[in-house]
A and B are shown apart, each in its own frame.
Chain A
Amino acid sequence: MKSLGSIRRSFAPWSDPASKPFISFRNVTKKFGDFVAVDNLSLDIFPREFFALLGASGCGKSTLLRMLAGFEQPTSGEIILDGQSLAGTPPYRRPVNMMFQSYALFPHMTVENNIAFGLKQDGMPKTEIAERVDQMLKLVKLDKFAKRKPHQLSGGQRQRVALARSLAKRPKVLLLDEPLGALDKKLREETQFELMDLQQELGLTFVVVTHDQEEAMTMADRIAVMAHGKVIQVATPPEIYEAPNSRFVADFIGDVNIFDGTVSAAGGGYVELTTDGGLSIRVASPETPSVGAKAGFAVRPEKIRVGNARPACAPLNAAEGVIWDIGYLGDMTVFHVKLKDGRVVKASSLNAVRAVEDPLGYDQEVWIWFDENAGVVLRD
């Protein structure tokens, strides 16, 4: 079997102008009374993509998914699936299936009848239904539970029944609404990888709604970060993490230190800023903000180093401070370093060697520093 990596590395239809999007949201707006849930949103999703809609609750991600499923109609704009507008197509005629957050398993039906439900609606011959149900049960490893009712299953098993049921009709697109939300952490991590394998195996397009950034980062080919009914950034997980296009995205995904400052020089692939706290920062950046403009600088904790000695780069990209707090997480240690200006910076370091006693302790005077390509300039 080919590993996922070999397939995934070369999978980037969004950067190929010749590839056609499979799902297109075109200027879609959805209002509930005065409340704008989705605000003039345009988005392309490509065939076989594992696409994640990520955002806090109320950001419009679920509404977007429900419009794709047909449970809500856009107030304006249109949604195109495989070259055809979905306007006026009721949910039961759309070639998409949804896995509901609550799973929505029919409590009065056995596992196999739940999975067969959609096939029966299509009038598929009985022998074929039985075959398909069998296949689905094997796929989600529930063949022994075919005769059980949903209430006799564990949470993880129910989740898999819901998945099998939504896949049974072989939809063109599978919509997943917080698919792993109800599972405990360990099961969630296992299931993430199962879902990815399944998606590759079946060659389907998955659109998943989640508020869990780790889930989105792990599973998705691309992530759309949403807020207030708008897409703030659409990019691959590494891009979202390493090159957030805005303060919102930088802050929303993972931990970050954001310094506000003024641009003192720009050009030649570098931007220099002076932070409001008086730090001089030089960043490798293609941006060319005008000198004197306000800008932010975002740097992730794991890219900030902490040490006793004055770094060679000082005073550029470096600052003195004292260790204010230490969080030992096992695999890494998080330091909160209080700088001279009173600002607390988060820095984390990997515990690569077993060290029972860390040389860095509370209240110790230290230096923090980072590379020129450790962070990004935020222009908003």
Chain B
Amino acid sequence: MTKFGSAVFNRLVIIIPYAWLMFFFLIPFFIVFRISLSQTAVAMPPYLPVFDLADGLSGIFSGIREFSIDNYLWLTQDALYINAYGASLWIAGVSTLCTLLIAYPIAYGMAQAPSNLRATLLMLVILPFWTSFLIRVYAWIAILKPEGLLNQFLLGIGVIDQPLIILNTNWAIYIGIVYSYLPFMVLPIYSALEKMDHSLNEAAQDLGCTPISAFWQVTFRLSLPGVIAGCMLVFIPAVGEFVIPDLLGGSETLMIGKTLWNEFNANRDWPVSAAVATILLLILVVPIMFFQQAQAKADGEGR
């Protein structure tokens, strides 16, 4: 390839991710945001104002003047929404922590395994994806229900004499999220641990660390980028999770994904559901941006 050709190629390669984000994130987001500023209406589509090119510029301006933040104010007035946000964040947070506690030892074990075994172990972690997510969640219903496999087993070995009520409680949601998102936590932690120089740990022990303290001061500390990546990959989708709480959860907990679904489908209130989605996005994106800024600052220290 000529030098010119490769320069063009390099540009094109950079354009692809930006174009992707543009078409599949930014533009849809603006559509949602624009709907969130509208009023609900019995019409098709079910909100006002609707822009029509036939009205010309003046039509667009008068439409924009009709935009309002009423829907956002509405969200603050009804405790339902605030509770749903709170419950979602809490459930996602607890689930992420549990996932981390289970995933770290798995990833650590994989990274310590002989290198010829690692590819197999990696395969096993990814293996559940071969089955549909929905089917796997349904399978948990069969396991967790009062007369399900888990209760039969526990009753059988005599640990309990009454079936445990797990299905349709928050416990079932935690189990479902931890199970479904485990690979997303294992993989980044494994990749961080796997490329770590083992002599770092030996050096720490050589300098007087017990194996446990060497683990915390060196191994864990250096795997933090993987831990953070894993936590984000679990926490962010878990906050907006709809299928798992819908299928496994009970009526006492309303997560934001379910609320959104209700507003959109049952109430046909597109503007409010768009506002719910926008706020959800802000709740997730703003802290991450601050975090990344702090991270970049810490990395740049001493430069």
Q: Which residues of A contact B (CB under 8 A)?
A: 69-71, 90-92, 96-98, 100-102, 104-108, 110, 117-118, 121-122, 147-149, 152, 165-166, 169
Contacts and interface: CB of A to CB of B under 8 A. Distances in A.
B165 interface: no
A102 B197 contact: yes
Interface of B: 197, 199-200, 202-210, 213-214, 218, 221-222, 301-303
A147 B207 CA distance: 20
User: DSSP majority for the B interface?
Assistant: helix
Contacts of B222: 107-108
Given A102-B197, A108-B222, A92 B206 contact: yes
Contacts of A97: 206-207
B208 A121 contact: yes
Contacts of B203: 98, 100, 104-106, 165
A90 B218 contact: no
A70 B206 CA distance: 8
Closest 9 CB pairs of A and B: A118-B207, A121-B208, A104-B203, A104-B199, A91-B205, A100-B199, A147-B302, A98-B206, A92-B208
A102 B196 CA distance: 12
A96 B202 CA distance: 13
A117 B206 contact: no
Contacts of A71: 202, 205
Contacts of A96: 206
A90 B205 contact: yes
Nearest to A117: B207
A69 B207 CA distance: 10
Contacts, number: 66
User: DSSP majority for the A interface?
Assistant: loop
Contact of B302 (A107, A149, A169): A149
B221 A117 contact: no
Nearest to B299: A149
B197 A104 contact: yes
7 contacts: A91-B202, A92-B207, A92-B208, A97-B206, A97-B207, A101-B199, A147-B302
Contacts of B302: 110, 147-149, 152
A92 B210 contact: yes
Contacts of B210: 90, 92
A364 B72 CA distance: 101
A122 B208 contact: yes
A79 to B, nearest CB: 16
B206 A69 contact: yes
A122 B208 CA distance: 7
A106 B200 contact: yes
Nearest to B199: A104
A114 B247 CA distance: 52
A299 B119 CA distance: 54
A283 B66 CA distance: 111
Q: Which of A98, A101, A105 has the most CB of B within 10 A?
A: A98
Contacts of B221: 108
A152 B302 CA distance: 9
Given A108-B222, A152-B303, A118 B199 contact: no
A118 B208 contact: yes
Contact of B218 (A91, A102, A106, A147): A106
A102 B303 CA distance: 23
A200 B203 CA distance: 25
Contact of A169 (B200, B207, B301): B207
A152 B200 CA distance: 18
A117 B200 CA distance: 12
Contacts of B202: 69, 71, 91, 98, 100, 104
Contacts of A147: 302
A369 B267 CA distance: 108
B303 A165 contact: no
Contacts of A117: 204, 207
Nearest to A122: B208
A146 to B, nearest CB: 9
